[in-house]
Amino acid sequence: MVKFLLRRLTVAILVALTVLTLSFLLTRLSGDLAISIAGPSATAQDVEIIRQAYGLNRPVYVQYLDWLFRAVQGDFGDSYFFRDRVSNLIGSRLPITLTLGLIGLGLALIVALPLGIIAAVRENTWIDRSVMMVALIGQAMPSFWLGLLLMVWLGLNLGLLPISGTGGPEYYVMPGIVLAFSAIPSLMRLTRSGMIEALSSDYIRTARAKGLSRLSILVKHGFRNAAIPVVSIAAVQLGFMLGGSIVIETVFAMHGVGYLAWESISKNDYPVVQAVVLVLALIYIALTLLSDLLNAVLDPRLRTA
């Protein structure tokens, strides 16, 4: 288990360094940062002053090493627009994005797992086809469009929920539903296919021959084996939700990390953009690592893979 953990940690560190490097280089490839900061009406002297003030006149590799050294320590520099430490901005908004992502994943699992199991048990029936139709609709529907529909229906017409903003639990309901709806199809299909494969296995037939209850066979023997790929895709979906929060938080005007990223991109606030990309990527890497460890616990054979 220790060797397995060390291998996964090594891969995670290499991926994190790659993301860190790419997030730095992509902002540099987008153009001269000093000109973007100064604005279109700035003179050449103004641009040069800004270039010296922010250290943009140094060689690129020196800027990269300096940013890498500070980023490893959690120091992402200062925001050009917000006039605050980038770490403070992300620290104050990250809980909103994490809460939204966890709510979306929780709702998705509550809906997808039972439907996937029911579809597998009732394979090739109208129930199975109906579940797959729901998955198809969910896969095809754009998240921002669903968000607008919910705002009109639940917010304007029925007045049940606030349309936008950041506040109490009621503000997370509609964004959470939108995020969950985008994750339900993949979780549902994977649960269904895993359960169908598990229920046709020899150990399930042995469990039935022993006279075990149907519920015990489904949950204890069938779902435990079918859950291995579900755990992996759930971690991936949570990472996608955190990254996709840029769209959802913008639609619902929730002041999380996603909305911060949109504000920073629109205002050319590159230190914030770099930090947001890095932080979301690190969370995604951590989730993937956690899913690998959970799968290794569920299936010890994976520890030697």
Q: Are residues 28 and 164 in the same domain?
A: no
Total-model pTM: 0.77
Q: Are residues 148 and 37 in the same domain?
A: no
pLDDT score for 305: 54
pLDDT score for 72: 79
Residue 134's domain comprises 86-192+225-268+276-304
Domain contains 155:
yes
Q: Are residues 290 and 146 in the same domain?
A: yes
> In the listed set 72, 107, 133, which residue is the last one of a domain according to the structure?
72
Q: Are residues 163 and 286 in the same domain?
A: yes
DSSP 8-state secondary structure symbol assigned to residue 125: S
Q: Are residues 183 and 260 in the same domain?
A: yes
Q: Are residues 20 and 144 in the same domain?
A: no
Judge contact between 100 and 252, C-beta under 8 A.
Answer: no
Q: How many domains does the chain have?
A: 2
Domain contains 217:
no
pLDDT score for 15: 81
- Strand, helix or coil for residue 146: helix
Domain contains 208:
no
142-149 long-range Cβ contacts below 8 angstroms, 24+ apart: 143/178, 143/179, 143/181, 143/182, 143/244, 143/247, 143/248, 144/247, 144/248, 144/251, 146/177, 146/178, 146/181, 147/174, 147/175, 147/178, 147/248, 147/251, 147/252, 148/251
Judge contact between 249 and 97, C-beta under 8 A.
Answer: yes
Q: Are residues 116 and 142 in the same domain?
A: yes
Per-residue pLDDT of the chain (305 residues), as tens digits, is 667 677 777 877 788 788 878 877 777 776 667 776 766 677 777 777 877 777 777 787 888 888 888 887 878 877 877 778 888 888 888 888 888 888 988 888 888 888 888 888 887 788 888 888 877 877 777 877 888 888 888 888 888 888 887 778 888 888 888 888 888 888 888 888 878 877 777 666 776 776 666 666 676 666 767 777 777 778 778 877 777 677 888 888 888 888 888 888 777 778 888 888 888 888 888 887 777 777 666 666 655 55
How far, in Å, CA of 10 to CA of 128, rounded?
42
- Strand, helix or coil for residue 141: coil
CATH number of domain containing 164: 1.10.3720.10
Judge contact between 253 and 259, C-beta under 8 A.
Answer: yes
pLDDT score for 220: 66
pLDDT score for 76: 80
How far, in Å, CA of 148 to CA of 159, rounded?
14
DSSP H or E run through 186: helix 173-199
How far, in Å, CA of 131 to CA of 192, rounded?
10
pLDDT score for 300: 62
Judge contact between 122 and 128, C-beta under 8 A.
Answer: yes
> In the listed set 45, 72, 99, which residue is the last one of a domain according to the structure?
72
